[in-house]
């Protein structure tokens, strides 16, 4: 298993407690989730109908502001799992460091994978992957620069899993172009990662091919119903954007007080240089607050935003304690 955020099993094993004792800030999942509400019984009992799925697709096109074909999948991760099979294996270039699932998934399907540090170095690849804004450092790329790359690679995948909080960075409106695929996550911004819902936005041929791979019923009835409600609720999304931006600054203040410096981030997570991430993670873990560290970057610690005021109080106490 790759190291991921959200591995509270490991936190409990290393530092004790039950999962429910912990504040899990090891992911970028919003801890003030969209309200699940009541579900009609047929969301559970019947196979998702074509009409239900099309209604969800329309909601996604509206929320993401795109006229392009859209496919609902069981999380952005499900789209990543399908990418290696969209074309015969060739040369893939991934703008790194980034989300650690792309490289092994492509390698396992016989792709030759190179991680590059500069955006323009993806040119010439059969498949290029750019996470925008990037995880874990929040790096953002210019839309024009990304669009220019579509003619210099076989296919470019823009992973916008963290773009809901920063809609201006999104290429969704251009997703119908040949050679461009945009991935979106529902679970992170809407705080419902257990629902398993994400979207691929792309041109007709790619979306048709991905749909054939996903099969007729790739997502649950609950994902269809809650996803549709959430995506159409513009007021909730706008209020959440405002709240996350303000709370990200609040977390940065606490981190500064602990002597950490901001490396980057998005409104859903912050990346700090702590000097010694193992020690910083342990300091938080003693207060049952779980964080994400990175083997290749010994000072980096990534934190999601606390949810309610009880959580903020615990985080503030842990970061001010010496």
Closer CB to a second copy, residue 31 or residue 250?
A: 31
Shortest Å distance, C-beta 190 to a second copy: 10
Cα 281 to Cα 307: distance, rounded to the nearest angstrom: 19
CB of 217 to a second copy, least distance (A): 6
Separation CA 102–CA 98 (nearest Å) = 9
Closer of 139 and 196 to a second copy (Cβ): 196
Q: Pick between residue 148 and residue 217 the one whose CB is nearest to a second copy.
A: 217
Q: How far is the CB of 118 from a second copy (least distance, A)?
A: 28
Rounded to the nearest whole angstrom, what is the least distance from the CB of residue 97 to a second copy in the complex?
Answer: 19
Residue with tokens 């910083």: 280
Nearer to a second copy, 216 or 298 (CB): 216
DSSP states of 25-83 as a string? -SS---SSPPP-----HHHHHSPPPHHHHHHHHHHHHHHHT--S-EEEESSHHHHHHHG
Environment class of residue 279 by beta-carbon count within 10 Å: exposed (0-12), middle (13-18) or buried (19+)? exposed
Q: Is 268 helix (H, G, I), strand (E, B) or coil?
A: coil
Give the residue with the Cβ less far from a second copy, 51 or 235.
51
Nearest alpha-carbon partner for 65 in 141, 150, 167:
167
Between 59 and 219, CB nearer to a second copy: 219
Which residue ranges make up the site for a second copy (CB under 8 A)?
Answer: 1-2, 4-9, 19-20, 24, 27, 29, 31, 33, 36, 42-51, 74-75, 77-78, 80-81, 85, 101, 105, 108, 187, 191-196, 212-223
Does residue 163 contact residue 288 with C-beta atoms inside 8 Å? no
Query: In whole angstroms, how close is the CB of 195 to a second copy at the nearest point?
Result: 6
Residues 132 and 162: beta-carbon distance below 8 Å: no
State the nearest-atom distance from the C-beta of 276 to a second copy, in Å. Answer: 27
């Amino acid at each position: 298993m790759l190291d991921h955020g959200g591995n509270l099993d490991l936190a409990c094993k290393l530092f004790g407690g039950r999962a429910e004792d912990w504040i899990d800030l090891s992911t970028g999942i919003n801890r003030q989730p969209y309200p699940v509400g009541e579900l009609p019984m047929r969301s559970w009992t019947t196979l998702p109908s074509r009409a239900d799925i099309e209604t969800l697709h329309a909601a996604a096109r509206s929320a993401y502001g795109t006229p392009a074909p859209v496919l609902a999948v069981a999380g952005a991760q499900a789209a990543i799992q399908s990418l290696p099979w969209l074309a015969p294996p060739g040369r893939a270039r991934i703008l790194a460091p980034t989300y650690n699932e792309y490289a092994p998934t492509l390698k396992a399907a016989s792709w030759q994978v190179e991680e590059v540090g500069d955006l323009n170095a993806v040119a010439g690849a059969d498949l290029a992957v750019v996470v925008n804004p990037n995880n874990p450092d929040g790096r953002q790329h210019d839309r024009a620069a990304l669009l220019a790359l579509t003619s210099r690679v076989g296919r470019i995948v823009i992973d916008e899993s963290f773009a809901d909080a920063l809609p201006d960075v999104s290429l969704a409106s251009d997703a119908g172009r040949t050679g461009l695929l945009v991935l979106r996550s529902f679970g992170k911004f809407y705080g419902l990662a257990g629902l398993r819902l994400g979207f691929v936005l792309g041109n007709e041929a790619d979306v048709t091919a991905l749909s054939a791979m996903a099969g007729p019923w790739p997502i649950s009835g609950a994902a269809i119903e809650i996803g549709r409600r959430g995506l159409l609720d513009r007021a909730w999304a706008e209020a959440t954007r405002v709240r996350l931006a303000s709370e990200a600054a609040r977390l940065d203040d606490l981190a500064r007080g602990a002597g950490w410096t901001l490396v980057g981030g998005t409104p859903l997570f912050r990346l700090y240089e702590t000097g010694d991430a193992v020690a910083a993670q342990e300091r938080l873990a003693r207060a049952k607050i779980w964080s994400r560290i990175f083997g290749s970057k010994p000072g980096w610690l990534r934190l999601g935003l606390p949810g309610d005021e009880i959580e903020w109080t615990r985080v503030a106490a842990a970061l001010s304690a010496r």
